[in-house]
Amino acid sequence: MSLWTSADIAAAVSGAASADFAASRVAFDSREVEPGSLFIALRGETTDGHRFLDQAFEQGAAGAIVSVDTAHPHVRVANTMAALNDLGREARARTDARIIGVTGSVGKTGTKEALFACLDRQAPGCAHRSVKSYNNHTGVPLSLARMPAASRFGVFEMGMNHAGELTELAALVRPHVAIVTAIAPAHTAFFKDESAIADAKGEIFSGLQPGGTAIVPFDSPHRGRLIAAAEPYAERIVTFGLDRDADVHPLERMRTGLGGTFVTARVGERELSFTLSQPGEHWVSNAMAILAAVDAVGADLAQAGLALAEIGGLAGRGARFRAEVPGGTALVIDESYNANPSSMRATLKVLAAEPAKRRLAVLGEMRELGVRSAEYHAALADPIDEAGISRAILVGEGMAPLATALEGRVDFVHVADAAEAREALVADLAADDAVLIKGSNAIGLASVVAALAGNN
């Protein structure tokens, strides 16, 4: 079935179609083009999608949105970026789906994926979500444009690193439910303090539709600011967290033998018991936000509980595997996609709970922390010590303050880059070890994970 016809596209973007065609998917990266795709040729600072038109059609593109002449089937517009936004708006306008928007300093991708799993379980094939981390000014309209008109649920991740960005994204998504997962020091290079980050995250509520629900972290010191940001737009404000005063909270929780958590949660006036497959207290908190959202869109909580028992870790965000090492295997926890002080602490606690002969950590520097970067890095010394880390491999120049703070406390080595980290880890990793690999994506620790994955 077609997602877009050339006539629909032309009407949505105020363009002119050169031919009749139908597209079953949408892409602006030529490497993602598959048979039946609509390829949107975006112009960027360093490249121009029009250069890849031939490649896109060789890969099976059905048509393209362009701003120059081409012999390929297309819809021509004056500005392809504006057309992408228009296509996203039309996709949002033509659906009756219940829409959930997710933002936060940490946990938003995992929460988005788990929400999708919960909703897809009760409406198979009729739930839609943004893929990967397509959460910015290009990724959000692309994710909207990919949403089938017949969808019953849509879950969209929205990110930002400057004030005002979420206001624009929320106006595109127009959610019925908006979640802020947590506020933490992330992108602090662009904000004066955490309160400013909270204000920027609170912009998501400005897009709420009439009758909408705002879901706010009760345990956050910025709860009041977020509630104040939501009040002008939300008919209902629901808090979640580990504190029993939150509207949605765990009554009981117990670690399972497989590393997850058995939880009994209160959701309003109801109770739900379920097993959460993902380890860590931060995931218990995420699960409370997920249940609040599932309830807010009128979906089934019991089905959500079953889905939460089955979700697996995402590559770069908690995926686990066992790597072959001399004498046996070692557990690898892949958190290589991103890092900030809050998520570092949370995942070190997860590592601390792992039964292992030794616990190792490969930790890459945290980017975009501004003038307090040295302070934030050095402050990880206590969580590393408390986690019982046998050896830490610190990666990148930004880790120098942490190296100084760890002197005499924990065995560590400080290396320049991911390649040196890989060599140091492979030389040391042994049977029955557990290793956490975490750092900002730009450090490239995914290559360390890939090297170990080749031995699983």
Strand partners, 364: 395
Domains in the chain: boundaries: 4-83, 95-308, 319-453
pLDDT tier at 345 (50, 70, 90 boundaries)?
Answer: very high
Residue with the bigger pLDDT between 456 and 318: it is 318
| Residue 87 · residue 13 · CB < 8 Å | yes
User: 4-83 is classed in which CATH architecture?
Assistant: 3-Layer(aba) Sandwich (3.40)
Residue-level pLDDT at 186: 66
To the nearest 10 degrees (0 to 180), the angle between helices 301-308 and 281-296 is: 150
Average pLDDT value for the chain? 95
Whether residue 187 is predicted with pLDDT greater than 70 in this model: the reply is: no
Question: In this structure, which topology does domain 319-453 adopt according to CATH?
Answer: Protein-Tyrosine Phosphatase; Chain A (3.90.190)
Whether 95-308 and 319-453 share one fold: the answer is: no
As to burial, measured by CB atoms within 10 angstroms (0-12 exposed, 13-18 middle, 19+ buried), residue 402 is buried
pLDDT tier at 206 (50, 70, 90 boundaries)?
Answer: very high
Nearest to 150 by CA among 2, 290, 300: 2
Residue-level pLDDT at 179: 98
Mean pLDDT of 441-455: 91
pTM: 0.86
Question: Encoding tokens for residue 302?
Answer: 């019991």
Query: What is the number of other CB atoms lying within 10 angstroms of the CB of residue 54?
Result: 13
pLDDT digits (tens, 9 = 90+) for 100-139: 999 999 899 999 999 999 999 999 999 999 987 788 999 9
Mean pLDDT of 359-375: 93
Residue-level pLDDT at 370: 87
pLDDT digits (tens, 9 = 90+) for 51-68: 999 999 999 999 999 999
Rounded Cα gap, residues 434 and 367, in angstroms: 25
Residue-level pLDDT at 161: 82
pLDDT digits (tens, 9 = 90+) for 218-228: 999 999 999 99
Question: Encoding tokens for residue 416?
Answer: 């320049």
Question: In this structure, which topology does domain 95-308 adopt according to CATH?
Answer: UDP-N-acetylmuramoyl-L-alanine:D-glutamate ligase (3.40.1190)
